Structure 1
Amino acid sequence: MPNLQAPQERRTLYFSGLSDRTTYKDLLSVVKGGKVLSVNLRSDRSATITFWDGAAEFLAWAKRNDIYLHSKRVEVEWAARQYRIKGHISNKILGGSTRNILIRNAVSNGITEEQIRAEMDHIHNLIIIGVTFNSGDAYVYTNSVHNALFARTCMMSRTAYKGCKVEFFRDECDVPLPVPVLKGKAPLPGPVKKQHTMTNRFDLLNIEGDENGSDEENRAPVADVSDDDGTVGLMTRRGVRLDFLDSDSV
């Protein structure tokens, strides 16, 4: 098989400003855009992650979109020391190897998480990030492709795994970078239209007259002459009738 070694481009990123509570799982949860060759957490609250592909794209994305872990902003930049991929590792990755191991029929063969961790504990620099079970199969997440290759070889040599098929499954970081959701601006409120009510201008006069009391009303009498009794009647606006005798009728 030809040696299809990946070009030695920059692929290792340096993460700083991590919270002291940050775990491997926490860090990898914000990494997207390509396969991860290795990840290493350091005691000085920093980390390095080497990508098989997509490192430059992830760095550009991280510069545009702030990354926070445990309420702390994480700085991302190129690492001073870049990881150089060996030819045989490149060939394995091109053949489908990842840093994640799939143990088929693990449950039916009595394989447990505690057993997996104990039997892989002797592998130098191997970090088992997590173990999950689904449909009787065990999914083992590790920190590097190189260590996962060694762990798989070790498993296949042990009697406990003879009834299991040990292979690799997809890197959870090998998914497209998130597309930021642009929030639309709320439309500016239009001018508030005042509600105009139709009023009768004579009603205003009546209201004013009511407030001024009965003096205004008494200044505007309505005369009513009765031919029958010779009296002059004054009708006020309140509807009170005042009758006076005519001088001739006295």
Structure 2
Amino acid sequence: MVADAPTILATSGGIVAGSRTRWEVGPLTRHAVDLAGVTGRAPRVCYVGTAGGDAAEGIRNFYDMAQLAGFAGSHLSLFTMPNVPDVREHLLSQDVIWVFGGSVAGLLATWELHGVGEAMREAWEAGVVLTGVSAGSICWHVGGTTDSFGPDLRPITNGLALLPYSNGVHYDSEEQRRPLFQSLVADGTLPPGYATDDGAGLLYRGTELVEALAENGSAGAYSVDRGPHGTALEIPLDVRRLR
């Protein structure tokens, strides 16, 4: 079973603190899985932790979450070598691919070495739902802002560009994010795009943004375009609250 159109849910959320496990699947990720339209079996969900260096703790946390949520979980690791015989085949066999946060620069460089970007594009076009948080949100876009290079944020401009927009994450929780994202759009370093507060997500069908979603009562989402005279124009989006 696959989604009825190429689908991406790019988020600054998707996980919540757990009661019996460290993390649990949040409403945004649950919605991404629902979009795959799986019936009669457990949805196949693949965790990709490249941005965190394929840390063992992240993989363990994912399997705990997946078991609790009723997912048929798997993971793709690239360090020190791929953990599956055929990366493309594994990704194309999933219902949902869930990309976690960390270094988006490291993620993109490592994916380039292993041909993961092309496999992700093929999976997306085939109807596998792509979702993720932070680096796992920016990667689907042209670029955004990143702390991959140090505590002072810098632009990243070599995203997979499945979506022809820029992407701002953690827009309300990290003080450098909003002003830098706006300035990069204003000066043309990044194309116009969309940003999410923590707990919000952006749902795309094909390359069209169809709605903004949130898993809490306060998170916002925004479009950011170039304004006149080297300025940026930020417009709040309507946000649907998931329960």
TM-score, length-scaled by structure 1: 0.25
Structure with the larger RCO, 1 or 2 (CA within 8 Å, 6+ apart): 2
